[in-house]
């Protein structure tokens, strides 16, 4: 959506192909974008690839950018059939590829160029797939620095928020197994046992919230962690947190929530997983701990609160870094340049 809305504002016709029941399709429709529903049913791949190829030709689409596995194969085949001028394959998470001889076609045969969100993913791809520097680019998703800003309203959360209330420590992420919630809950237990008067909140949807409440219960902290479910007011939530935790265990590229928190001037503690240290730079923009180490996470959370002056400098430097290197306009400019390079179109 960030890419589509950005290019739409720059005067480009944009389309989204997505599942008919997906939230992103509803958002694109509401934003006045062209949309095309597709169920991405593997059984219908031959038929759907031909239908999509005809549609790509009819709409004279010049760039196709796919973002996950099924759409990568389906739109990749369709774009090749339609002879679409440029086919991009974007990858946001770092996963293993048990059959690289097959998987390589998703990033070579069905991609003119590969985009990744972190250097860690780029390095991994270069190790297992025949990709040269000219055919792969690291480009984290850009952040709207006007929307994600230190100045603005603070969300109401199910914790005490009056003046003098204990610091609020939170996680903001989709509820997935590899996001590290059990590590966070264990860190909560350790901090409570150490007598630290902090408040804790988990924001996000995805998997049933009851499953994660059960994890908190098994860690003995069910009563100490508030759960909000899915929320749309992410900038307001980040401004309401004293510390954001990103305790991911695997798969991470450069997490958007990390950049969003830095843009909002929120202190961040992140694991050393994937591309997290690329933006949460130890001692400069935040604090890093070994993935899965709850004791280390608890210590770094306490440091973020106790070392107020050091944390303030990190928050300031984090905001500057996002403005200079990870803004939405910076991302759009780089994408625009990449697209024009392949299409042979002149720059404005």
3-state secondary structure the chain: CHHHHHHHHCCCCCEEEECCCCHHHHHHHHCCCEEEECCCCHHHHHHHHHHHHHHHHHHCCCEEEECCHHHHHHHHHHHHHHCCCEEEEEECECCCCCCHHHHHHHHCCCCCEEEECCHHHHHHHHHHCCCCHHHEEECCCCECCCCCCCCCCCCCCCCCCCCCCCCEEEEECCECHHHCHHHHHHHHHHHHHCCCCCEEEEECCECCHHHHHHHHHHCCCHHHEEEEECCCCHHHHHHHCCEEEECCCCCECCCHHHHHHHHCCCEEEEECCCCHHHHCCECCCEEEECCCCHHHHHHHHHHHHHCHHHHHHHHHHHHHHHHHHCEHHHHHHHHHHHHHHHHCCCCC
168-325 under CATH 3.40.50.1220, yes or no = no
Average pLDDT, consecutive stretches of 10 residues, N- to C-terminus, the chain (348 residues): 94 96 95 96 94 97 93 95 97 87 91 95 91 93 96 96 96 96 98 97 94 96 95 97 97 93 98 96 98 98 98 98 96 96 77
**Assigned superfamily of 2-142+327-343:** Glycogen Phosphorylase B; (3.40.50.2000)
Please list, residue by residue across 151-179, b when 16 or more beta carbons sit within 10 angstroms of its beta carbon and e when fewer do. Answer: eeeebebebeeeeeeebbbbbbbebeeeb
d(CA 40, CA 74): 7
What pLDDT does residue 347 have?
Answer: 56
The residue with tokens 């949460």 is 280
What pLDDT does residue 345 have?
Answer: 66
d(CA 168, CA 165): 9
pTM, two decimals, is 0.89
Q: Is 134 exposed, middle or buried (0-12, 13-18, 19+ CB in 10 A)?
A: exposed
d(CA 2, CA 238): 19
What pLDDT does residue 348 have?
Answer: 54
The residues of the chain that CATH labels 3.40.50.2000 are 2-142+327-343, 168-325
The residue with tokens 């409570």 is 192
Per-residue model confidence as pLDDT tens digits over 147-204 = 999 999 999 999 999 999 999 999 999 999 999 999 999 999 999 999 999 999 999 9
CB-based contact 245:239 (threshold 8 Å)? no
What pLDDT does residue 55 have?
Answer: 98
Decide the pairing of beta strands 267-271 and 287-289. parallel
CB-based contact 39:19 (threshold 8 Å)? yes
d(CA 96, CA 73): 17
Token pair of 119 as six digits: 């250097």
Per-residue model confidence as pLDDT tens digits over 265-277 = 999 999 999 999 9
What pLDDT does residue 214 have?
Answer: 96
Tell me phi and psi for residue 268, to 5 degrees.
-130, 135
Tell me phi and psi for residue 288, to 5 degrees.
-115, 145
Token pair of 124 as six digits: 């991994």
């Amino acid at each position: 959506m960030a890419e589509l809305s950005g290019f739409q504002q720059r005067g480009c016709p944009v389309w989204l192909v997505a599942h008919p029941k997906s939230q992103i399709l509803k958002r694109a429709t509401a934003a006045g974008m062209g949309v095309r529903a597709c169920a991405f049913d593997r059984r219908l791949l031959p038929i759907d690839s031909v239908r999509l190829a005809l549609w790509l030709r009819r709409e004279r689409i010049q760039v196709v950018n796919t973002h996950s596995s099924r759409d990568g194969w389906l739109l990749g085949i369709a774009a090749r059939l339609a002879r679409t001028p440029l086919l991009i394959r974007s990858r946001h998470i770092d996963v293993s590829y048990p059959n690289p001889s097959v998987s390589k076609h998703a990033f070579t045969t069905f991609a003119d160029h590969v985009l990744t969100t972190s250097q860690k993913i780029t390095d991994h791809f270069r190790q297992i797939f025949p990709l040269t520097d000219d055919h792969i680019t690291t480009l984290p998703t850009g952040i709207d620095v006007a929307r994600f800003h230190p100045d603005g309203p603070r969300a109401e959360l199910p914790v005490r928020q009056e003046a003098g209330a204990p610091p609020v420590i939170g996680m903001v992420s989709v509820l997935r197994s590899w996001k590290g919630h059990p590590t966070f809950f264990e860190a909560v237990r350790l901090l409570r046992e150490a007598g630290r008067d902090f408040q804790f909140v988990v924001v996000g949807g995805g998997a049933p919230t009851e499953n994660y409440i059960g994890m908190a219960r098994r860690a003995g902290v069910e009563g100490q962690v508030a759960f909000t479910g899915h929320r749309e007011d992410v900038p307001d939530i980040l401004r309401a947190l004293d510390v954001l935790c990103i305790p991911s265990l695997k798969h991470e590229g450069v997490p958007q929530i990390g950049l969003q928190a830095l843009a909002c001037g929120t202190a961040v503690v992140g694991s050393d997983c994937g591309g997290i240290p690329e933006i949460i730079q130890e001692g400069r923009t935040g604090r890093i701990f070994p993935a899965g180490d709850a004791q280390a996470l608890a210590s770094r959370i306490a440091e973020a609160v106790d070392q107020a002056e050091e944390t303030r400098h990190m928050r300031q430097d984090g905001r500057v870094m996002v403005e200079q290197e990870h803004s939405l306009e910076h991302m759009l400019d780089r994408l625009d340049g990449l697209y024009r390079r392949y299409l042979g179109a002149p720059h404005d």
